[in-house]
Structure formats: C-alpha cells, structure tokens
Amino acid sequence: MSDKQQPIKSGFDNRSTAAEVLDGIDLTGKTAVVTGGYSGIGLETTRALASAGAEVVVPARRPDLAAANLEGIAGTEVDELDLADLDSVRRFAERRFADGRRIDLLVNSAGIMACPETRTEKGWELQLATNHLGHFALVNRLLPLLEGARVVSVSSNGHRQSPIRWDDPHFDTGYDRGQAYGQSKTANVLFAVELDRLAASSGIRAFALHPGAILTPLQRHFTEAEQREIGWIDEHGNPPAHFKSAEAGAATQTWAATSPKLDGLGGLYLEDCEIAEVNPDLDAGPGVRPHAIDPEQAQRLWAFSAELTGVNTFA
C-alpha cells in the first residue's frame, strides 16, 4: 500500500470545476483520449481539455450522438469504440496507430452503473466488461503511444460495495447490480495501482478517482422512486446540496490528467481534486478502502484480466 496515499494541499476542493483546475495550464500540442467524453462529466472533461488547447479524441459506442453532443467544441474528433467488444477495442487501437499521434492524456471516463443483468458474447458480466476489462485491453493496446502519458481511470466511492469476487467475478451464481458495480469500480482502482507499478519506468503514471456525487445519465437504470429512496433527488426531482454540477464532477479527473502537483506520483486514488486518505470503514466516509489499493490484489487482477482479454503488453 502506497505511503503517498495522503493529501498534498492541492489548492482545490469539492466545488472546483474542470476549467478552474486548468487555469494557467496550456495543453497546446497535446493529444487526449477521453472515453465517454460526449456525455455527463466526460463531456465536461472534453470541453475543458479542448479549451486549454488539447486535441481531444472521443471514442464512442454511438458516434452520431457523440458528434452531435460535441458540435461547436473546437479541437475534438469522434471515433468508434465499444468497450464491451474486444474486436472494437482492437480496431480503435489500430486506427490510433495509423493516425500516429502520441497520446499524452488518456481518461477512462466511460462506464455503466447498476444495469440489469447483462452479459457480453463471452459471458462476462457487463459492468466488469465495460468499466474494467475493455479499458484494460484499450490501455494495453495503446501502450506504445502512451510513453510519458497520464492514464486516469474514473472509479467511484462505489468501490466500497465489493472487492474483487474471485470465487464468482461474473455473478454466475446470482446477480446483484450494486455489488457488480462496486466490483468494477474496485477493479478501476486496482488497475491504476498495477499499471503505475509496471509502466512508471516508461514515464506513464496512472491514477484512479471518485468524481463525487453528480446527477448524470449514469443513473439511467434507477427509477425516480429509487433515486428518491437513495437520496439522490427530493420530491421535486432536485439533487441535495452536496451534489456537484457536471463541471465540478469533471474537475478531479481533469486535475488528475494535468496537474503539475502530481508530477512524479502515481498509483493513487483521488477525490475532490486531492489525494484521498485511506479509510477502512466500508460503510461510510470519504477516502479509499484498503482492498482497492492492495498491491497483491492489483497484481492478481492484472493477471486475471490479461488471461480473459488475451492482451498483456508486459507479458
């Protein structure tokens, strides 16, 4: 467990926006890839990075919708990618190599949450397949283009809901959508821990993060009644005061991808534009839970993911 998993006084907080964390940072000449960069906090991340001068490639399962959502944002382009389809991941990577541009920032922002039980053609549980395995394959395939890059994985405090379920990772013995989401978010953090260990010598540094509580299309699988019961909205459909705007929700991943204060660091979990503390309480409170940053679990997950996907640059 990293002894660097502790705050560094970033100067930002839970209300800082993506534009604010980029104030004074010039990304001209940089190329960013933002999965899911056409919706919710991914869209705000794309907007902020492009405004700072970056060229932003937005892979999308629905390219037409992505193009419509990105209309008017200069410096952006759309490419096709379905993270739940490894052939689609391979084809996307091949097009990036053909394009030839180095990737300076890779933000793995795409994800699904608490969907009904769904499986890929390979029989994998869809949340693990989309949120983790697709991104695992993507990063490994793009790795030669990522030398010196930051790789940012958008996790969640939902990682509290489940460690990796080694005895039944695909919920073959009974599906729980909350635990499935939690497992995939734990996987996002463990992936950053192990990627950073393996790739830091190539200048690639990896981070994972909780963006905060934000109402976005991610909650599409919850009914209004369920959202009221959970406390996400009141009887009028309004979120509670502690919920962030999409602009603030995008801030931590934007900060992770660009902040000079994170130079020389990696393998860490962030929240509210800050390095989070370790919190062993599974039920409540901020911070990262120990099971999500355990280096042995991270190595085990990497080997498991490589076996499933057939992709491992470090083999």
Residue 238 has, within 13 A of its CA and on its CB side, a CA count of: 4
Tokens of 56: 């932003």
Residues 32, 56: contact at Cβ < 8 Å? yes
Q: Is there a catalytic annotation at residue 175?
A: no
Q: Which two tokens stand for residue 257?
A: 């991808």
What is the edge-to-edge ordering of all strands in the sheet holding 150-154? 76-80, 55-60, 31-35, 105-108, 150-154, 205-210, 268-271
- The residue annotated as part of the active site, out of 38, 175, 181, 269, is 181
Q: Is residue 41 classed exposed, middle or buried when 0-12, 13-18 and 19+ CB atoms within 10 A define those classes? A: buried
Active site residues: 181
